[in-house]
Structure 1
Amino acid sequence: MHRKKLLIVGGGNLCLQILQVLAPRNQFEFHVASRDLEKATRMCNLIRLAALQQNVAIQIHSHEMDLRESCINRNAEMLLKIRPDIIINCASLQSWRVITQLPAERFAALDQAQLGPWLPMHLAPAYALMRAVKQACPKSLVVNAAFPDAVNPILYKVGMAPDVGIGNIANLVPATRSAIAHLTDCLPTQVCAKLIGHHYFSHSAPRHGLPPQQLDASFNLTYWIDGEERTDGHTAEAIFGSVAREFSRLGGVDGQYLTAMSAVTVLENLYADHEVRVHAPGPHGLPGGYPVKVGMGKVLLDLPYGVTREEAIKVNEAGQRLDGISLIRADGTAVFGEAQMQVMQRELNFAMAEMRVCDSAAWAEELGSKYRAYADASHHTNSHHAGVAAHDAGYRAFAC
């Protein structure tokens, strides 16, 4: 049996969760690339041995890859040796989850900046990877997991867009189908939904439902029950209110299981011999998230009837502004929202009005340094306060 070669770049938790699902199915020849070769090798051995628990013998290989500017040619040489059919980028200089480990008060303050200002942490490694890909294996299909709603359209402007992303809008669709089924008194499998929206919306709706603040323009939902369109059957407030209440779920590291399943759905079907309907961010370098069809080595938009490509882009650009990126210029320069960047200035003493693609690594280095100092100071202050509280009151719990 000929298996496609799947290269996962970035040996973190998302890589592990994807492999935990895919490996026992044994549909790929697996390759894992990470800057920490020893850790990647141990992960590959874990996955190999776990698959053998189910009497499945898989092919899995580890490689060293450093996504810095100085390593692009070396990475290209490695890609030439592997010749992957599919590459999924899970690499980031700082995961979105990191700030959730701050003391609760500091996290709440910094979280107001949204994800947009953290763009350099996701763009810099993706830009380095795509330059190696274009040099060594331009026909490989590339799937990006690192803030694809913004990274993919920026890289598109410089001719280096991944083919599609995973997660984000895709993660909201199962809960949306479940909420519609709950309100209609039917099974979720009877509900088909097409949802258009940026990361901002897919992050906000599961936590807060549909607050009145500017969100109506930042999503588009069409749905069917047993093949009959019923989009006007329930209000968006009722649907996303149910998402936040009845279908509230674990987040953080545990919540990445949902993202991993989104990745699996895309990866398993990219070379299917028929088209499979899924949701994904950043298809063909478009901003935000869309319903798409994957299969036969292609990714196609799958918009609902009556919604044009331009209208869908406009919806996602509205969400993009709420996420802290006011504009992506024709040359790929990202212009950041003033309100969101003011939060970064206040909390981290970090200011970045706009960013060219070629400057992303330098901005990422500065942002990472400022955040580490902030986190160290926050945890030191929190530890001191915890000690005082324990002395005065015997016990106090701090949520992080």
Structure 2
Amino acid sequence: MLARNHVAAASIAHDCSFVAEEFETSTIARLQADFVVCCASAQSPYENLAQPSAWTRLIEEAGFGVTLPLQTTVVARVARALAEVSPHTLLINGCFPDAVNPLLASLGLPVWCGIGNVATIAACLQEALDLPDQRALAVLGHHAHLSSLDEVLVWRNGSPLSDVSELLRAARALPRRELNAIAGQAAARLLADLANGSDVATSLPGPLGLPGGYPVRIANGAIALNLPAGLSRTQAVEWNTEAGRRDGIEVRDGQVSYTPKAIAALEPHLPEIANGWPAYALEEVTDQFCALRKRLRLTESHKEQ
């Protein structure tokens, strides 16, 4: 919970539930918050470490993007609740925002930006370059670039950097949990600046429902792309859309589609979904993925017995 002061914190008297079939929105309606941050999803990114199974192998084979419905279902409910009872509240999504945010936008649901991913990369570059802040730094990058051999695009004072891989070498050698700690610190800094009303220059995933991550500037409660000279919004969006295919997925024009590798992994299990699905089918597709996950987990436990 982030609140401006102890009075604001004390006013939050009840929990909100967005995972039950029927969830209440009275707390959100009462608070009328400036920002809401959602970091809850129906699929942990660490399941492959804690409990590997046929399900986690499917994710590894197809790409993390196949978990998109499970990453979206909770934050979509939050977005609907905000649209209904607190439409001025800005939603910040911490769950695979590079793909989830454009899916939310396709559904007409409000989402302001994300945290993590390109923000994590930008924080690592800030440290590597020994910069006091990110005002001179612009990073174009996707969730897939956290471990990808392909590289993010980086500018310093408007000039492109060519030694990005070397600058990120130490960060990419860290376990994913440690990278997530860096992501958390970067998110906390962003939220503190927002709570203080400070202007911010940084790089964030999914701003305004766009795919991937971009350099942005935040001032007076408004967020805008802060692209370097010579790079258009259309070029940046297309570059990020293509980068996202490394996660096995693409969200474009209200349609979710899969790469050939992801299709091959999904077809034996969900052939009708492997061919792609429209954004409006999110709930139905989520149900099918939940059933598949349960089945594959059970298959693994039976093998162990």
Shorter-chain TM-score range: 0.7 to 0.9
* Partners of 2:113 and 2:208 within 8 A in 1: yes
1:335 match: secondary structure: strand
Q: Confirm whether residue 259 of structure 1 aligns to residue 238 of structure 2.
A: no
What is aligned with 1:142?
91
What is aligned with 2:222?
298
* Partners of 1:103 and 1:379 within 8 A in 2: no
1:249 match: secondary structure: coil
- Which blocks of at least 5 consecutive residues in structure 2 are unaligned? none
2:140 match: secondary structure: strand
- Read off the aligned partner of 1:144 and give its amino acid letter: N
**Structure 1 Cα separation of the partners of residues 291 and 93 of structure 2:** 25
CA-CA distance at 1:196 after TM superposition:
0.6
* Partners of 2:18 and 2:78 within 8 A in 1: no
CA-CA distance at 1:369 after TM superposition:
2.2
Q: Name the CA shift for 1:105/1:235 in 2 (closer, same or farther; >3 Å).
A: farther
2:147 match: secondary structure: helix
1:279 match: secondary structure: strand
Q: Name the CA shift for 1:240/1:268 in 2 (closer, same or farther; >3 Å).
A: closer
Which residue, 53, 76, 79 being the options, matches 1:127?
76
**Structure 2 Cα separation of the partners of residues 158 and 371 of structure 1:** 25
What is aligned with 1:365?
287
- Read off the aligned partner of 1:65 and give its amino acid letter: S
Displaced runs of 4 or more, over 6 A: none
Q: Name the CA shift for 1:168/1:28 in 2 (closer, same or farther; >3 Å).
A: farther
What is aligned with 1:29?
8
Which residue, 215, 220, 242 being the options, matches 2:153?
220
- Read off the aligned partner of 1:296 and give its amino acid letter: N
- Read off the aligned partner of 1:350 and give its amino acid letter: L
What is aligned with 2:138?
194
* Partners of 1:67 and 1:129 within 8 A in 2: no
Task: Kindly report which structure 2 residues correspond to 1:1-400, keeping only aligned pairs within 5 A, or say none.
Answer: 19=1, 26=5, 29-30=8-9, 60-67=12-19, 71=22, 75-103=24-52, 107=56, 110-179=59-128, 181=129, 187-189=130-132, 192-201=136-145, 203-205=146-148, 210=149, 215=150, 219-224=152-157, 231-232=160-161, 234-244=162-172, 248-252=173-177, 255-329=179-253, 332-346=254-268, 349-351=269-271, 352=273, 353-381=275-303, 383=304
Structure with more relative contact order (C-alpha pairs < 8 Å, separation 6 or more): 2
Q: Name the CA shift for 1:152/1:107 in 2 (closer, same or farther; >3 Å).
A: closer
Q: Name the CA shift for 1:109/1:160 in 2 (closer, same or farther; >3 Å).
A: closer
Q: Name the CA shift for 1:109/1:75 in 2 (closer, same or farther; >3 Å).
A: closer
Share of identical aligned residues, percent?
A: 23
CA-CA distance at 1:223 after TM superposition:
2.3
How well do the aligned residues superpose, as a CA RMSD in angstroms?
Answer: 2.9
**Structure 1 Cα separation of the partners of residues 281 and 206 of structure 2:** 22
What is aligned with 1:9?
none
What is aligned with 1:44?
none
* Partners of 1:102 and 1:378 within 8 A in 2: no
* Partners of 1:117 and 1:340 within 8 A in 2: yes
**Structure 2 Cα separation of the partners of residues 230 and 65 of structure 1:** 46
> Normalising to structure 1: TM-score of the pair?
0.67
- Which blocks of at least 5 consecutive residues in structure 1 are unaligned? 1-18, 31-57, 182-186, 385-400
